[in-house]
Amino acid sequence: MVQYNFKKITVVPNGKDFVDIILSRTQRQTPTVVHKGYAISRLRQFYMRKVKYTQTNFHEKLSTIIDEFPRLGDIHPFYGDLLHVLYNKDHYKLALGQINTARNLIGKIAKDYVKLLKYGDSLYRCKCLKVAALGRMCTVLKRIGPSLAYLEQVRQHMARLPSIDPNTRTILICGYPNVGKSSFINKITRADVEVQPYAFTTKSLFVGHTDYKYLRYQVIDTPGILDRPFEDRNIIEMCSITALAHLRAAILFFLDISGSCGYTIAQQAALFQSIKSLFLNKPLIVVCNKTDLQPLDGLSEEDMKLVNEMKAEALKTSIGHGGEGTDADVLLTMSALTEEGVIAVKNAACERLLNQRVEIKMKSKKINDCLNRFHVAVPKPRDQKERPLCIPQAVLEAKAKQAAAEEKRKTEKDLEEENGGAGVYSMNLRKHYILADDEWKEDNLPEILDGHNVYDFIDPDILHRVEELEREEGLRQAEADDDDFEIDGTELTPEQQEALAEIRRKKSILIQQHRIKKSTAESRPTVSRKFDKDRQFTTERMGRQLSSLGLDPSMAINRMRSRSASRKGRKRERSPEGRNDGMDIDDDTPSKKQRLSRSLSRSRSVSRPPHEVVPGEGLRDSAQKIKAIKLAKGSSKKRNKNAKRGEADRVIVNLKPKHLYCGKRSKGKTDRR
């Protein structure tokens, strides 16, 4: 038998306590004394041990939390749905996922900083890396503080849940609030469930145990259920619904026939009809309680009719699923106050459940191994008369029809294989719609946008209009292609036609040369224009081309030469006022002063020194400017230093951090918190 004991889950500390526990353990369990004179390898090993030990402790603690909390997909569906009802499985999974992510991040941080510590070049650098590693680990853990607090609350609540075995013999008590369910479980078990004369005294599941025929049965008391839609039920009611849906148990539906619970028999019958689908394949007994206040015989005809309908439904459920229920077993009366009929109800429920479990086991495959050990006696024939099997003709016809229907019926898998297989076949989701007319299944569903049906705003001739637009667009595009500008030469003079032909010929030659260069660009070495033998791009070539066109090339050649001369020179001559004239020298015979300035510019720079005072700066002399420059550098030094600061640089926020300056503890005091 599978037992779920959530009380064994370890306590989940909050973020601050978690950090204190881990850092204190690191401080106690690892060496604390290191000297400056140690070899650098020993220093690295000392701090790497600290980082690795801290990461291992974090990993163990977080792994314990992840492993001990149950995974909703691995436990029984009853507990999975119960936890979802109580805690919302999305929040639960998200919290555990954040714990797992934090564990992985801490592992990566430790790995990265151990790698950096291998190359630490001093005691100070190694210590800074260790502090940075531990600080980042603690930051990661503090970020998941809300998840740790949530899991601690879940753990405390789960520890208070009853230990229910979903697979053992179970009796489930359900019904409206205040109908006597808790009083009944107190009578037949030693469970001490609170009983009060008002509704919803029981707000969660309670478990007791009782014995019948030397077998142990667990009895579960569920909170009351109200007759309302499923989505309107609260968490207390959903606990009962979850137990009814998932536990294979004998159901005792309690009915208060006296009306003292505050609900009429009609309301209780309506609840029975609304949840009867949860009673399938389970032994069901309708228990009429509080007969000391109102006997069953004294009910009105309408109420008696409702009770008989419930009795018929319970009998149908029992017979339809292999039970052996009779009228006497399905409808029972009792009084929890006088204890009249209490034991009879318990015995009937246990007997019905036992018979059903035996019947299920007889139908299982395991029974064959047991039957092989028994000797089955075969009677000897007492005469020569043949006694063949006698099967009614109606049964044979019904079986034949069923077999034919099964042969004809095609599954979705068969339809998928016939229509192209997976990825091609699309299942028709509408064919099982329950509509008044089957032809309505294939109707187009309206698309609603802003409260309006989109189809109401669609022009019925829209397809025809789209075709017309496409046709018109094609005609316009064809006209645009025909109207491309191209000189055909019909309106030109003979001289212009010759020039046009020459331009086109030169254009084609240039295009071919460019394509050849582009195709061989990767394999062709780059040759400086200085060593270019062809000398294609020269002023002489440009002059010849301009002369052939009837233009004077002298101005263009002079302009190109002056530009190249200005590029060869270091800088233009500085004027006496400390600025450039902005004039190029085009004379062929420069003066002596110009030649001297050019030779000086080639030998040394004539740029202004930093301490030289320029008019308009607002400084008195060069000494004052030098002082201003020093002050500016001093003020920007601190900002530059802060800008270059990284994670590994030494930053002590707290001048006396507890875990770095406290030593080993003495024998007397072991809890500093």
Encode pLDDT of 447-458 as tens digits.
Answer: 888 888 887 887
582: amino acid identity, one letter: G
Domains annotated on the chain, with CATH? 6-158 (1.20.120.1190), 163-363 (3.40.50.300)
pLDDT of res. 48: 93
221-225, 454-458, 488-492, 630-634: least confident range: 488-492
- Measured in residues, the chain has a length of 673
Residue 176 DSSP SS3:
coil
pLDDT at 62 over 90: yes
pLDDT at 613 over 80: yes
Which H helix or E strand runs over 514? helix 494-519
Query: For residue 66, which of 33, 21, 101, 16 has the smallest C-alpha distance?
Result: 101
Query: For residue 405, which of 397, 413, 417 has the smallest C-alpha distance?
Result: 397
Distance CA 76, CA 70 (A): 10
Q: Where are the beta strands (DSSP E) in 6-101?
A: none
Residue keyed to tokens 């930053």 = 651
Encode pLDDT of 124-134 as tens digits.
Answer: 999 999 999 99
Residue keyed to tokens 């789960």 = 158
Distance CA 427, CA 420 (A): 12
Identify which has the larger pLDDT, 656 or 224: 224
Which H helix or E strand runs over 210? strand 206-212
pLDDT at 575 over 50: no
Query: For residue 140, which of 11, 10, 22, 9 has the smallest C-alpha distance?
Result: 22
Which H helix or E strand runs over 217? strand 215-221
Q: Per-residue confidence at 117, pLDDT binned at 50, 70, 90?
A: very high
Q: How many helices (H) and strands (E) does the chain have?
A: 22, 8
Reduced 3-state DSSP string for 158-176: HHCCCCCCCCCCEEEEEEC
Q: Where are the beta strands (DSSP E) in 273-432?
A: 284-289, 331-333
pLDDT at 570 over 60: no
Helices (H), 523-657: 539-548, 554-568, 592-603, 622-643
**Residue 38 CB contacts under 8 Å (≥ 6 apart), including other chains:** 46, 123
pLDDT of res. 438: 85
Q: Are 102 and 140 contacting, i.e. CB atoms less than 8 angstroms apart? A: yes
Two structure tokens written together for 171: 């009796």
Distance CA 514, CA 517 (A): 5
pTM of the model: 0.51
- The bridge status of strand 331-333 relative to strand 215-221 is unpaired
pLDDT > 90: percent of the chain: 18
Report CA 366 to chain centroid distance, whole Å. 43
pLDDT of res. 669: 60
Distance CA 463, CA 69 (A): 61
Q: Per-residue confidence at 6, pLDDT binned at 50, 70, 90?
A: confident
How many angstroms separate the first and last alpha carbons of the chain?
43
503: amino acid identity, one letter: I
Decide: residue 573, CB within 10 A, 0-12 exposed, 13-18 middle, 19+ buried. middle
pLDDT > 70: percent of the chain: 84
**Residue 84 CB contacts under 8 Å (≥ 6 apart), including other chains:** 72, 92
What does the mean pLDDT of the chain come to? 82
pLDDT at 647 over 80: no
Q: Are 261 and 178 contacting, i.e. CB atoms less than 8 angstroms apart? A: yes
Identify which has the larger pLDDT, 637 or 327: 637
Q: Compute the average pLDDT of residues 368-385.
A: 77
The residues with which 289 forms a beta bridge, in sequence order, are: 256
DSSP-derived letter for residue 350 is H
Q: Are 265 and 176 contacting, i.e. CB atoms less than 8 angstroms apart? A: no
Encode pLDDT of 210-230 as tens digits.
Answer: 998 888 999 999 888 888 887
Distance CA 221, CA 514 (A): 93
Query: For residue 613, which of 605, 621, 601 has the smallest C-alpha distance?
Result: 621
Encode pLDDT of 233-291 as tens digits.
Answer: 888 888 888 888 888 889 999 988 888 888 888 888 888 888 888 888 888 889 998 88
Residue 219 DSSP SS3:
strand
User: Angle, to 10 degrees, between the axis of helix 40-68 and the axis of helix 123-143?
Assistant: 10
Encode pLDDT of 408-424 as tens digits.
Answer: 777 888 888 888 888 88
pLDDT of res. 478: 84
Which H helix or E strand runs over 453? strand 452-453
